[in-house]
C-alpha cells in the first residue's frame, strides 16, 4: 500500500524536484499555465468580494474570516489543477541555492509567470466588467469592489512591502504543507487555514491584486452610469502599479524565498 504522507526530508526533495521541473517547461507552457493561475486566483477573489458585499452588519473579523475561507478556492484550483502562480514560483530559489539552476533561469521564469498571471487576472476582470456582475444586488457588488481596491492603494510603499512579505510566507507555507500528503482532501485541508489567515489579516497578494484593482479601475473609468458617493480620486493606474503592485511584489518575493530557503537548509541532506 503506497505511503500517503511524506517526511520533512521527502517534502524538501519534492520541493527541489518541483522547482527544477518548473524550469524545464517551455515558455509557452509556463505562460499558459500562468494565465490559468491568474484566472484561478481571480475566481477566489471574486468569491471573496461576493461574501463580503453588504456586510456592514457583521463584525469586521467575521467578514474577513469568511473572505479568507472562500478565497482559498483560488489556491486550491492552482494546486489541484496544476497551474503556475508567481508567488509559489519563489520555490525555484531552492534550485538556485543548491546550484542546480542559474539566477537567469529563475528571473526568466518569474517574468513569464508574472506576465501570465497578470494576463489571466485582466481577462477575468474584463469578463466581469462586460457581464455587469458588479451591478448585482443594486450595485452592492461594485461598491464593495471599489472599496477593496481603495483599501489596497492607501497603504504606504513600505507597508505594502511588509504586508506582501507576511502574505507570501503564509501562501508558501500552505504550498509546503500540501507536499506532506498525496490525498486531494489532505492538500485542500492544508491550503485552507494559511490562506484564510493571510486574507483575514489583510496581507497583500500581488496576483490577487491584479484582479481586485483593475476591475475597480474598469468600473471607475468605463461605466459612468455606475454612480457612487465614494471618492475615487486616488484610484488610478499609477497608484495601482507604483503604490501597490510593485511593493507587494517585492514583499511577496522576500516572503516566499525566506520560507523555501529555510526549509531547504533545515532538511537538505548535507545540512
Asked if the model's pLDDT at residue 55 lies above 50, the reply is: yes
Each domain of the chain, given as residue ranges in start order, spans: 8-267
Mean pLDDT of 125-154: 96
Mean pLDDT of 73-78: 98
Asked if the model's pLDDT at residue 1 lies above 70, the reply is: no
Q: State the SS3 of the chain.
A: CCCCECCHHHHHHHHHHHHHHHHCCCHHHHHHHHHHHHHHHHHHHHHHHHHHCCCCCCCHHHHHHHHHHHHHHHHHHHHHHCCCCCCHHHHHHHHHHCCCCCHHHHHHHHHHHHHHHHHHHHHHHHHHHHHCHHHHHHHHHHHHHHHHHHHHHCCCHHHHHHHHHHHHHHHHHHHHHHCCECCHHHHHHHHHHHHHHHHHHCCCCHHHHHHHHHHHHHHHHHCCCCCCCCCCCCCCHHHHHHHHHHHHHHHHHHHHHHHHHHHHHHHCCCC
What is the model's pLDDT at position 270? 62
> Could you tell me the pTM of the whole model?
0.96
Instruction: State which fold the 8-267 domain adopts.
Output: Glycerol uptake facilitator protein (1.20.1080)
Amino acid at each position: 500500500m503506497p505511503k500517503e504522507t511524506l517526511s520533512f526530508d521527502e517534502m524538501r526533495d519534492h520541493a527541489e524536484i518541483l522547482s527544477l521541473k518548473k524550469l524545464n517547461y517551455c515558455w509557452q507552457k509556463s505562460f499558459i499555465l500562468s494565465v490559468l493561475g491568474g484566472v484561478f486566483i481571480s475566481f477566489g477573489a471574486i468569491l471573496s468580494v461576493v461574501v463580503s458585499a453588504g456586510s456592514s452588519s457583521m463584525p469586521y473579523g467575521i467578514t474577513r474570516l469568511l473572505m479568507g475561507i472562500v478565497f482559498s478556492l483560488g489556491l486550491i484550483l492552482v494546486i489541484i489543477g496544476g497551474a503556475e502562480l508567481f508567488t509559489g514560483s519563489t520555490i525555484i530559489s531552492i534550485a538556485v541555492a543548491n546550484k542546480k539552476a542559474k539566477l537567469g533561469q529563475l528571473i526568466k521564469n518569474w517574468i513569464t509567470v508574472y506576465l501570465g498571471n497578470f494576463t489571466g487576472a485582466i481577462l477575468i476582470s474584463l469578463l466581469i466588467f462586460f457581464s455587469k456582475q458588479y451591478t448585482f444586488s443594486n450595485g452592492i457588488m461594485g461598491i464593495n469592489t471599489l472599496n477593496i481596491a481603495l483599501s489596497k492603494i492607501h497603504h504606504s510603499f513600505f507597508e505594502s512591502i511588509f504586508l506582501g512579505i507576511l502574505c507570501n510566507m503564509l501562501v508558501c507555507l500552505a504550498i509546503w504543507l500540501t507536499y506532506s500528503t498525496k490525498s486531494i482532501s489532505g492538500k485542500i485541508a492544508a491550503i485552507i487555514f494559511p490562506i484564510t489567515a493571510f486574507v483575514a489579516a489583510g496581507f497583500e497578494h500581488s496576483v490577487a491584486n491584479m484582479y481586485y484593482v483593475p476591475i475597480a479601475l474598469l468600473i471607475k473609468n468605463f461605466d459612468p452610469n455606475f454612480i457612487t458617493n465614494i471618492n475615487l480620486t486616488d484610484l488610478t493606474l499609477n497608484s495601482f502599479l507604483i503604490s501597490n503592485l510593485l511593493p507587494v511584489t517585492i514583499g511577496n518575493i522576500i516572503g516566499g524565498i525566506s520560507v523555501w530557503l529555510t526549509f531547504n537548509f533545515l532538511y537538505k541532506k548535507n545540512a
